[in-house]
Amino acid sequence: MKKIIAVLTLLSVLFTSLSGCAAKADDKGASGDDKKFRIGIVQAQNHPSLDEIREYIIIGLEEAGMKDSVEIIYKDAQNDPTNVTTIVNQFVGENVDMIIPIATGAAQSALAATRDIPIVFAAVSYPVQAGLVEDMNKTDGNITGVSNAIAVEDIFRLSAELTPEVETYGFIYNPGEVNSASGIKRAKDYCDANGLKYVEANIANSGELQQTAQSLASKVDAIFVPNDNTVAVAMSVLAQEAIDAGIPVYTGADSMVKDGGFATVGIDYKVLGRQTAAMAERILKGEKISDNPVEIISQYSRMVNTTTAKSLGIEISEDALKEIKVFE
């Protein structure tokens, strides 16, 4: 009788052990296909560029056939760095499968919160300078993503074509944003190398933009704005001040042109969102972050707001318009 009980006990233990192993295998799936992945998306703030990126990350995942295999947990920090930290810590506490931070500050907070959960950032112009990776081509940690480094030099070349009379540029930006500071450095380098003058104006929050823009516009022939989130949330204010002063604003993003900026060689944030989604999908399905180096957005476009051009009295030839994406 004791032997029978011992055999039954052994069989019970073996069955329980095998069941546990099977359950773990089911959780992971052969390629992750059987698991519902939980993705935490965090934005530092709401504005059209970042909103469009988030929207097209979700669309990109759906287009990849992952609509039913992902759960999106989206949180907006309402432009408060403390909220960003709280949000990413919540994601870590909930043990999400991936964090997708949109913009530099959110990515920095995510990396500070975890070295275990995969992080795929979007819209970080200068990941190395931001301290996210040591090398764009070497992602040994838990973070990678898609950079939206702007085509600064091409924007100034476009300005030379559309408004060749410009001699002095105004730079307006928040120096606390790594993306902006790095973009402005490239702008200064270009101007220095090409005999162009510039005047710099800094803002700490969007509430300072109108007064700063009014002062700057009286000193320059055109304004250049990099991918600056502080400016972007109030881009229509800057655009109107520039129109009132009769000068064009060249921007780093298509959304800024949509909001009244004059022109850019800019980033289509639909493309950026989809590109980020494609990377996230690969990693969720089993690829290593180390096999996915940081990517730069794959597509730039010349863009002009023709309503703004008309308000400024700037004429653009039909031939030039054939190669330019037009916003009205």
For the chain, list the domains and their CATH numbers.
37-149+269-298 (3.40.50.2300), 152-267+301-327 (3.40.50.2300)
Mean pLDDT of the chain: 89
Q: What residue type is 116 in one-letter code? A: D
**pLDDT attached to residue 146:** 98
pLDDT band at 46 (very low <50, low <70, confident <90, very high): confident
Q: Which residues contact 95 (CB under 8 A, 6 or more apart)?
A: 117
Q: Look at residue 161 and tell me whether its pLDDT is greater than 60.
A: yes
CA atoms within 13 A on the CB side of 156: 23
Q: Which two tokens stand for residue 296?
A: 């730069």
Residue with more model confidence, 149 or 54: 54
Region 25-43 average pLDDT? 65
pLDDT digits (tens, 9 = 90+) for 207-256: 999 999 999 999 999 999 998 989 999 999 999 999 999 999 999 988 89
pLDDT tier at 34, thresholds 50, 70, 90: low
Distance (Å, whole) CA 230 – CA 18:
56
Q: What pLDDT, on the 0 to 100 scale, is given for residue 5?
A: 43
pLDDT beyond 90 at 12: no
**Which residue matches tokens 């709280």?**
86
Q: What average pLDDT does range 157-170 have in this prediction?
A: 97
The structure tokens listed for 66 are 């992952």
Tokens at 104, concatenated: 């530099």
Name the band, by pLDDT with cuts 50, 70 and 90, for residue 30.
Answer: very low
Residue 27 has pLDDT above 70, yes or no: no
Across the range 276-305, mean pLDDT stands at 96
Tell me what percent of the residues of the chain surpass a pLDDT of 90.
77
Residues with Cβ within 8 Å of 202's Cβ and at least 6 positions away in sequence, in order, are 172, 173, 174, 175, 212
Q: How far apart are CA 158 and CA 178, in angstroms?
A: 24
Q: Give tens-digit pLDDT for 84-118.
A: 999 999 999 999 999 999 999 999 999 999 999 99
